[in-house]
């Protein structure tokens, strides 16, 4: 596990975008795994700017997002479908047929999970997966206690996750369940970059750094992966 400390959020976003760009330079038809949440927004902004400058193209890329809330369609602004459209997909040349996000509106959720997993396999597997980390150590929505053997599945969101994500719901009721890639799905990616920014992630990073591998701290499975980069940093005093 390679740890890279950044001086501020901008540097985190730049470095994350650079890792993605390098991946696409070496393999323009890469399969990339994407994350949502507050942390990667700056990375998406960087990628969109680079695309607009003509420095990068996503025309041959296939993308798979980590997760989606159950019961949330793309017309709902809090959905990860809407997030991806707003922050990334709506601004770049990644073809609509190559964008994949779990279907939280599927009539048969189990089938949707299996189909998602099959689509990832059919694509040749994920080359580079971007993940965030929850304060409780979740990656994707794999909450503490999730099996390291898990594949794409339906999960109950923990109280900690619902508290942390309530800020994106503006007082509206938050969903209690989500579809998420499993820990095994994430671990099958050929390389993984974990983005963590802010003091509220300090405890989780400290725990990750201990190297203890336990299902009660999902991100700890990453210690068993040969190619993980952790980009991390904290606000300086006075910064938000």
If one asks whether residue 133 binds ligand PGA (CB under 6 A), the answer comes out as yes
- Which residue in 117, 138, 142, 234 is the catalytic one? 138
Determine the Cα–Cα distance for residues 21 and 44; give it in Å rounded to an integer.
12
Residue 9 CA, distance from chain mean position: 17
Piece of 112-120, 131-139, 142-150, 175-183 that binds ligand PGA (CB under 6 A): 131-139
Catalytic residue among 65, 67, 117, 127: 67
Residue 49 CB coordination number (10 Å):
13
| Catalytic residue flag (residue 138) | yes
Q: Which of these segments, 7-15, 35-43, 208-216, 218-226, binds ligand PGA (CB under 6 A)?
A: 35-43
Instruction: With contacts defined by CB under 6 A, name the span among 84-92, 129-137, 174-182, 212-220 that binds ligand PGA.
Output: 129-137
Quote the least distance from Cβ 160 to ligand PGA, whole Å.
9
User: In the complex, what is the shortest distance from the CB of residue 39 to ligand PGA, in angstroms, rounded to a whole number?
Assistant: 3
H-helix segments, 67-180: 80-87, 109-122, 159-165
Q: What's the min distance (Å) between Cβ of 41 and ligand PGA?
A: 8
Strands 99-100 and 67-69: unpaired
Comparison of 92 and 157: residue with beta carbon closer to ligand PGA: 157
Whether 206 contacts 199, CB under 8 Å: no
Stretch that binds ligand PGA, among 11-19, 20-28, 116-124, 133-141 (CB under 6 A): 133-141
For residue 229, which of 15, 8, 10, 21 has the smallest C-alpha distance? 15
Task: Give the closest residue to 39 by CA, choosing from 175, 234, 238.
Answer: 234
Note whether 175 and 70 are within 8 A (CB).
Answer: yes
Q: Would you state the structure tokens that stand for residue 205, as one six-digit string?
A: 């990073």
Please tell me whether residue 33 binds ligand PGA under the rule CB under 6 A.
Answer: no
Rounded to whole angstroms, how far apart are CA atoms 159 and 11? 31
In the complex, the smallest distance separating the C-beta of residue 166 from ligand PGA, rounded to whole angstroms, is 11
Contact between 37 and ligand PGA by CB under 6 A: the answer reads yes
Nearest to 135 by CA among 231, 67, 206: 206
Catalytic, 165? Answer no
Whose Cβ is closer to ligand PGA: residue 4's or residue 115's? 4
In 3D space, the residue among 132, 136, 128 whose CA is nearest the CA of residue 197 turns out to be 132
Instruction: Provide the mask over 164-203, with x wherever binding to ligand PGA is found by CB under 6 A and - wherever it is not.
Output: ----------------------------------------
Q: List the catalytic residues.
A: 67, 136, 138, 143
Contacts with ligand PGA by CB under 6 A lie at 37-39, 132-134, 138
């Amino acid at each position: 596990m390679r740890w890279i400390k950044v001086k501020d959020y901008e540097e985190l976003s730049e470095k994350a975008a650079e890792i993605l760009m390098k991946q696409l330079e070496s393999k323009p038809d890469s399969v990339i795994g994407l994350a949502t949440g507050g942390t990667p927004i700056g990375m998406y902004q960087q990628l969109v700017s680079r695309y607009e400058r003509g420095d990068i193209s996503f025309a041959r890329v296939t993308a798979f997002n980590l997760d989606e809330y159950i019961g949330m369609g793309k017309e709902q602004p809090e959905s990860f479908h809407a997030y991806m459209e707003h922050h990334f997909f709506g601004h770049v040349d990644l073809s609509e047929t190559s964008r994949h996000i779990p279907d939280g509106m599927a009539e048969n959720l189990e089938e949707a999970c299996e189909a998602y997993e099959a689509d990832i396999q059919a694509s040749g597997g994920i080359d580079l997966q971007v993940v965030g980390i929850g304060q409780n150590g979740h990656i994707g929505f794999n909450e503490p206690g999730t099996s390291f053997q898990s594949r794409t599945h339906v999960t109950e969101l923990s109280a900690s996750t619902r508290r942390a994500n309530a800020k994106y719901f503006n007082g509206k009721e938050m969903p209690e369940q989500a579809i998420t890639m499993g820990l095994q799905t994430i671990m099958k990616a050929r390389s993984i970059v974990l983005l963590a920014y802010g003091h509220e992630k300090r405890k989780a990073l400290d725990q990750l750094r201990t190297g203890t591998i336990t299902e009660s701290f999902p991100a700890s499975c990453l210690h068993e992966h040969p190619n993980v980069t952790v980009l991390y940093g904290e606000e300086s005093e006075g910064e938000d």
